């Protein structure tokens, strides 16, 4: 499944204004069932109904050009993750978790927000394996609960 990115500040503002869909000790997940820019989700034609090899339906451009059904944005404030190394590690973990769970999630825009810092005494290294595993486990639990609660 193709994963898009939420990049415009207006999309972030609209998503963060929606109620929190789920939360964990350190993260909050916001969701909206639309594409960036407030557009409707692209239609997906089931393969059983239409083949890309049908002569009347072959587009002039690339046949495999699919638009994403899931878009991701992340908000990691410096007040919760002071070091850039930590913020980058968390960004990679967020993107990886969404890629792992994208097949079970409904289409739309997701923003994962860091809402509390990880305690520095438990994770002294900014990019430790322990911090990476803790973030991964928490994000997997957050997205697994969201996937079960489809709209």
Among the four given CATH numbers 3.40.50.800, 3.30.230.10, 3.40.50.620, 1.10.260.40, the one describing domain 3-36+68-148: 3.30.230.10
Segment 62-110, tens digit of pLDDT? 444 456 788 999 999 999 999 999 999 999 999 999 999 988 888 889 9
The reported pTM is 0.78
Residue with tokens 């079960």: 148
Asked if 8 and 73 count as a contact pair (C-beta separation under 8 A), the reply is: no
Where do the domains of the chain lie?
3-36+68-148
Segment 5-34, tens digit of pLDDT? 998 999 999 999 999 999 999 999 999 988
Segment 52-62, tens digit of pLDDT? 555 555 444 44
Q: What is the DSSP secondary structure assignment for residue 51, as one 8-state letter? A: -
Q: For 120, list phi and psi in degrees, rounded to 5.
A: -70, -30
Confidence of residue 46 (pLDDT cuts 50, 70, 90): low
């Amino acid at each position: 499944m193709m994963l898009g990115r939420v990049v415009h500040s207006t999309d972030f503002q609209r998503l963060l204004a929606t109620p929190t869909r789920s939360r964990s000790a350190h993260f909050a997940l916001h969701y909206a069932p639309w594409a960036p820019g407030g557009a409707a989700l692209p239609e997906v034609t089931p393969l059983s109904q239409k083949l890309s090899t049908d002569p009347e339906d072959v587009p002039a451009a690339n046949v495999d050009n699919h638009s994403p059904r899931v878009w991701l944005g992340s908000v990691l404030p410096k007040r919760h993750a002071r070091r850039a190394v930590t913020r980058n590690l968390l960004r990679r973990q967020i993107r990886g978790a969404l890629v792992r769970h994208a097949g079970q999630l409904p289409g739309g825009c997701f923003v994962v927000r860091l809402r509390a810092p990880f305690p520095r005494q438990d994770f002294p290294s900014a990019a430790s394996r322990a911090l990476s595993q803790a973030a991964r486990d928490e994000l997997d639990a957050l997205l697994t609960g969201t996937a079960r609660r489809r709209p």
